[in-house]
């Protein structure tokens, strides 16, 4: 086994790649009561057009299929997988985002049996016309729940404005219309394309025995031959934004806004992507964090409140920053922010070291919980980043790196404003 170790935080992760291509990561965490495992595939809502290994033709599937498949994996011929986890006392769950579908459980006993169950059920699809139809009602209610959630709407409206054609502009669960077209043949096609061990990763963390864990995995994983590359087809996204502004009326008391910035320096993963991520996040923190002049001004003038937040999400083929919150005047907030960051002397070196310290503490906190370790690990893995590289990279970043990155990314012409307004009486 290969050993990944970071001395600064005294944490190690063991890696073993199996013959079928599956990558297994095991992280011992002494003293923890809870064990946590995630079995994830590199298949998300963005992957709706692809050429499967061995195919010549392009397959195009309805929006929301990765999420639909996630729901259906919990059903087997013998019954519900939830039932088996429940009998073992574990709490099982799953999630789908733009790039990933992940299945997970948390347990405090029967760990190896739970692990076996996780490995087996994710490799055992069972779709029928009947069980696919039945799920449509449930997912329709999930979609409706998000439709009525103004924070979700303001976010996806911003993504729709940022992107012309990239699938990230579409809702992860699809629409009630798009999921109505899903059938068992489509699900099997996606399953056999994307749920090959070669396209998957298994991460396990807790106070566990490494050899025993690896044995359980090896005994229960399919011994498939490697299948080769999946060709994912994404439309060519222009570097410009699609729309500058988008406004929707909903049942809210005060306008909500998302100010989005499109990242155009994309197309790479790994350490380079991690570095970019950190540069932008540190830059945003220096510019708009709770200790910044700009935050103080916006807050004291009554334009923002404690819901104000910002984040950069950088994937391999796209990335964007979102600054959001509630405000009586989102357009004014945008103007103030854009005006301030236009000034080249805006970021101050004196703030840099302090914000870096803050990020060190933030990173350390990740390691307080097996759940957050696992989620972060998988999230980074899909970007070809090793979680344990984080701290060393953070130390290596200079003020100049941040300033240059910030100026290139946070530009007015890359920005969009999404607003959800209260319904006018």
Angle ∠(205,209,213) on CA atoms, nearest 5:
70
Binding residues for other proteins restricted to 146-165, rule: CB under 8 A: 147-151
Taking the least distance from each CB to other proteins, the nearer of 294 and 382 is 294
Q: In angstroms, what is the minimal distance from the CB of 86 to other proteins?
A: 4
Alpha helices in 221-348 (DSSP H): 270-288, 293-300, 330-342
Phi/psi-derived region of residue 21, left when phi > 0, alpha when psi is between -120 and 50, beta in every other case: left
Binding piece for other proteins, criterion CB under 8 A, among 180-188, 236-244, 332-340, 363-371: 363-371
Site for other proteins (CB under 8 A): which residue of 21, 53, 82, 272?
82
Site for other proteins (CB under 8 A): which residue of 87, 212, 332, 348?
87
Taking the least distance from each CB to other proteins, the nearer of 7 and 209 is 7
Question: What span, in angstroms and rounded, lies between the C-alpha atoms of 255 and 250?
Answer: 9
Active-site residue identified among 17, 70, 135, 404: 70
251 contributes a contact to other proteins by CB under 8 A: yes
Q: In angstroms, what is the minimal distance from the CB of 167 to other proteins?
A: 23
Query: Is-contact 201 22, C-beta < 8 A?
Result: yes
Taking the least distance from each CB to other proteins, the nearer of 131 and 240 is 131
Phi, psi of 43 (to 5 degrees): -150, 115
Query: Is-contact 278 409, C-beta < 8 A?
Result: no
Site for other proteins (CB under 8 A): which residue of 362, 398, 400, 404?
362
Binding piece for other proteins, criterion CB under 8 A, among 185-193, 208-216, 285-293, 339-347: 285-293
Q: Work out whether strand 49-51 and strand 231-232 pair parallel, antiparallel, or are unpaired.
A: antiparallel
311 contributes a contact to other proteins by CB under 8 A: no
The question of whether 70 is a catalytic residue gets the answer yes
Taking the least distance from each CB to other proteins, the nearer of 212 and 297 is 297
Question: Following CA atoms 93, 100, 226, 105 in sequence, which dihedral angle do they give, to the nearest 10 degrees?
Answer: -20
Question: What span, in angstroms and rounded, lies between the C-alpha atoms of 263 and 98?
Answer: 16
Site for other proteins (CB under 8 A): which residue of 183, 240, 291, 339?
291
Site for other proteins (CB under 8 A): which residue of 46, 99, 292, 418?
292
Question: What span, in angstroms and rounded, lies between the C-alpha atoms of 22 and 10?
Answer: 26
Binding residues for other proteins restricted to 31-70, rule: CB under 8 A: 31-34
Enzyme catalytic residues: 70
């Amino acid at each position: 086994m290969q050993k990944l170790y970071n001395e600064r935080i005294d944490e190690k992760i063991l890696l073993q790649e199996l013959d079928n291509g599956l990558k297994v990561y095991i992280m011992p965490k002494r003293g923890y009561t809870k064990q946590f495992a995630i079995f994830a595939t590199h298949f998300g809502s963005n992957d709706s057009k692809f050429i499967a290994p061995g195919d010549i033709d392009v397959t195009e599937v309805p929006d929301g299929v990765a999420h639909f498949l996630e729901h259906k994996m919990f059903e087997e011929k013998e019954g519900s997988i939830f039932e088996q986890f429940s009998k073992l006392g574990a709490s099982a769950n799953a999630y789908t985002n733009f790039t990933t579908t992940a299945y997970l459980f948390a347990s405090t006993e029967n760990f190896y049996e739970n692990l076996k169950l996780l490995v087996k059920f994710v490799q055992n699809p069972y779709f029928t016309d009947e069980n696919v139809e039945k799920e449509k009602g449930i997912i329709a209610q999930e979609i409706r729940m998000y439709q009525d959630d103004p924070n979700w709407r303001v976010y996806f409206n911003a993504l729709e404005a940022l992107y012309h054609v990239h699938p990230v502009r579409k809702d992860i669960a699809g629409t009630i219309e798009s999921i109505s077209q899903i059938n068992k043949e489509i699900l099997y096609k996606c399953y056999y394309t994307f749920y090959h061990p070669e396209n998957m990763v298994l991460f396990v963390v807790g106070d566990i025995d490494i050899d025993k864990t690896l044995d359980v995995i090896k005994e229960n994983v399919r011994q498939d031959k490697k299948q080769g590359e999946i060709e994912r087809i994404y439309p060519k996204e222009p570097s410009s934004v699609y729309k500058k502004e988008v406004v929707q009326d909903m049942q809210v008391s005060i306008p909500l806004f998302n100010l989005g910035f499109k990242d155009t320096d994309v197309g790479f993963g790994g350490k380079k992507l991690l570095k970019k991520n950190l540069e932008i996040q540190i830059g945003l923190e220096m510019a708009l964090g709770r200790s910044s002049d700009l935050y103080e001004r916006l807050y004291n003038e009554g334009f923002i409140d404690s819901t104000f937040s910002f984040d950069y999400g950088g994937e391999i083929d796209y990335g964007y920053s979102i600054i959001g919150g509630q405000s009586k005047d989102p357009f004014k907030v945008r103007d103030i922010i854009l005006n301030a960051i236009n000034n080249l002397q805006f970021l101050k070196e004196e703030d840099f070291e302090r914000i870096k310290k803050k990020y060190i503490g933030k990173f350390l906190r990740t390691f307080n919980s097996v759940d957050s370790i696992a989620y972060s690990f998988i999230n980074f893995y899909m970007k070809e980043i090793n979680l344990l590289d984080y701290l060393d990279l953070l130390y290596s970043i200079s003020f100049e790196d941040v300033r240059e990155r910030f100026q290139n990314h946070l530009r007015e012409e890359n920005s969009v404003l999404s607003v959800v307004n209260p319904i006018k009486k």
